[in-house]
Structure 1
């Protein structure tokens, strides 16, 4: 059915966006060696365990200051068509997905990002 195809396409968009977000986070971690996201700041805003994942998604679309060394970094997650950064560009498309969960694994310097069906699960978890 058309509805089934449309829903399948929307799910794929959500997983593709999750991959983009994941790559952006891992690039930041690799370049800065800030595996716990302790030094990432934007407009004096920092990331804490349990924060809403949209906060990090927005920060990654802006120039970032790494407080570890004071270095200013270009955006790791580029808004569509070079527009002004907004979480709207990376919101989930499929009606059952309510946001993204971000799992950070500092020991491995990696992360996993995946769509979730409960908005309460759309958080940053630093393991």
Structure 2
């Protein structure tokens, strides 16, 4: 399956040619800050499967995991497009919101639940981790 996507203003577009290796909802404090208080919803793809057109801006911070997170966003509209961890530079973590509907993706795991506010709705049917989970398994190629 393939996916397409774009930022809110259309200056950044994506062509994704593979399936995600994982999908996650993240409640870390940094994700809450960039998501206006809630979690981020993310699909993790092999980096080679994600083609970006346009010129995203980027910023970095040291995540609670200790890894450097580089997040890429549209400099015109501010839409978060994808992130990359220094621990997994071969992967791109794409925000669900930039993937064109209907994409059919949903979180399979919830991470950083220790950082979630007490009002957060954590789906008990999903695997959850209080902090950083192990890396997704390598995909066969």
TM-score normalised by L of structure 1: 0.28
More strand by share: 2
TM-score (norm 2): 0.26
